[in-house]
Amino acid sequence: METATPNYFLIIGGVLFVMLNVAALLIWVERRGLALFQDRYGPNRAGPFGLLIVAADSIKLFFKQDWIPPFADKPVFVLAPAIVVVTVLMSFVVIPFAPGVIVADLNIGLLFFLAMSSMGAYSIILGGWASNNKYSLLGAMRGAAQMISYEVFMGLSLMGVVLLSGSFSLVEIVEAQRGLWFFIPQIVGFVIFFIAGIAETHRLPFDIPEAESELIAGFHSEYSGMKFGMFFIGEYMGITLISCMIVTLYFGGWLGPDFLPPIVWFILKTLFFLLIFVLLRASMPRPRYDQLMEYGWKVLLPLTLLNLMVTAGVVLWMSES
């Protein structure tokens, strides 16, 4: 059995440090980006370019009253926000940021990612149920249906990548893209995975579990202080995770011309998709709940199955020719 090396612990510490800080920085990026897209100023008072607004928000959350409603199921109420942060951080374990820069190169890395994303649904369900509040419970029920449904399409959309690479290991999937990035032969799978990723992270336009015009704040209506902060951080880490997975599965991961180091290519590609998430929030209207579910089961499911059959047929034909 191999012993853990200092370099291994350095990678774990680096991934933890970067991901938690990226979530904080994304708050500023989103607020400035939304201001730019919507022709307004955004945060511009606290520090240069409003950068210290992140520190101000963090301090406010730490010192805000950490109130637990007397009618809530307290153990579950406290546990729910931790689940979303832990499951997202666990998913980063299998992502290869560059050659050798990975916490664990599992041969079932893709299945591990899907398993952890499924576990994230528990945070919304338990948080809404434990709050003992009708609005929270409605948000939790919406969130459960939305996340479980779109996990189906997310998993099926990835099978085309598995067929082309012949592996569930994310490192091998990246290596298989040296000749051609998979977003070209798997353009349908990429679009479906991206849409499902938005629904999984319940970001606009699919933020229906926390639709403020209908449900106050949805599943986290009763949360305050750092418990609310953990839901908030979990959401931003979630969009970072989906962006990293898109880059890894469809855009060659760390692969790129030699004039930049591999990890820089990975970061640049990930930043591009993070900005797409921000742009979507600035520009897209929210559909009705029934429209979201109908779109998933009547449009995305047939497309994923068709994409899977066509990909399997092409792979079989090429292997025999």
pLDDT tens-digit readout, 104-117: 888 899 999 999 98
**Domain assignment of residue 149, yes or no:** yes
Q: How far apart are CA 226 and CA 98, in angstroms?
A: 33
Domain ranges, residue 125: 67-311
Q: What is the pLDDT of residue 212?
A: 59
Top-confidence range, 4-13, 222-231, 267-276: 267-276
**Mean pLDDT (whole number) for 313-320:** 89
In sequence order, which residues have a C-beta less than 8 Å from that of residue 157 and are 6 or more positions away? 188, 189, 190, 192, 193, 196, 304, 307
**Domain assignment of residue 282, yes or no:** yes
pTM of the model: 0.90
| pLDDT digits 0-9 by tens, 238-252 | 999 999 999 999 999
The yes-or-no verdict on residue 60 having pLDDT over 90 is: no
**Domain assignment of residue 204, yes or no:** yes
Q: What is the pLDDT of residue 243?
A: 94
Q: Would you call the peptide bond into 205 cis, given omega within 30 degrees of 0 as the criterion?
A: yes
**Domain assignment of residue 231, yes or no:** yes
| pLDDT digits 0-9 by tens, 193-212 | 999 999 888 887 777 666 65
- Structural domain tally of the chain? 1
| pLDDT digits 0-9 by tens, 223-242 | 878 888 888 888 889 999 99
The yes-or-no verdict on residue 253 having pLDDT over 70 is: yes
In sequence order, which residues have a C-beta less than 8 Å from that of residue 144 and are 6 or more positions away? 121, 124, 125
Q: What is the pLDDT of residue 2?
A: 41
Q: What is the pLDDT of residue 1?
A: 37
**Domain assignment of residue 7, yes or no:** no
Q: What is the pLDDT of residue 4?
A: 45
For residue 97, what are its two tokens? 């940021």
Q: What is the pLDDT of residue 3?
A: 42
Q: What is the pLDDT of residue 310?
A: 94
Confidence of residue 173 (pLDDT cuts 50, 70, 90): very high
Q: What is the pLDDT of residue 210?
A: 61
Q: How far apart are CA 103 and CA 95, in angstroms?
A: 8
For residue 196, what are its two tokens? 């499902």
Helix axis angle for 109-119 and 74-91, nearest 10°, is 160
Q: Are 58 and 236 in contact (CB under 8 A)?
A: no
**Domain assignment of residue 92, yes or no:** yes
**Mean pLDDT (whole number) for 68-84:** 86
**Mean pLDDT (whole number) for 255-264:** 89
Residue scoring higher pLDDT (4 or 318): 318
Q: Judge residue 291's burial from the number of C-beta atoms within 10 Å of its C-beta, 0-12 exposed, 13-18 middle, 19 or more buried.
A: exposed
Q: What is the pLDDT of residue 23?
A: 81
Q: How far apart are CA 81 and CA 86, in angstroms?
A: 9
Q: Which of 280, 277, 284 is nearest to 22 (CA)?
A: 277
Q: How far apart are CA 118 and CA 209, in angstroms?
A: 16
Q: What is the pLDDT of residue 207?
A: 75
Confidence of residue 6 (pLDDT cuts 50, 70, 90): low
Residue scoring higher pLDDT (218 or 107): 107
| pLDDT digits 0-9 by tens, 290-303 | 888 898 899 999 99
Q: What percent of the chain has pLDDT over 70?
A: 94
Confidence of residue 162 (pLDDT cuts 50, 70, 90): very high
**Domain assignment of residue 251, yes or no:** yes
For residue 221, what are its two tokens? 């209506």
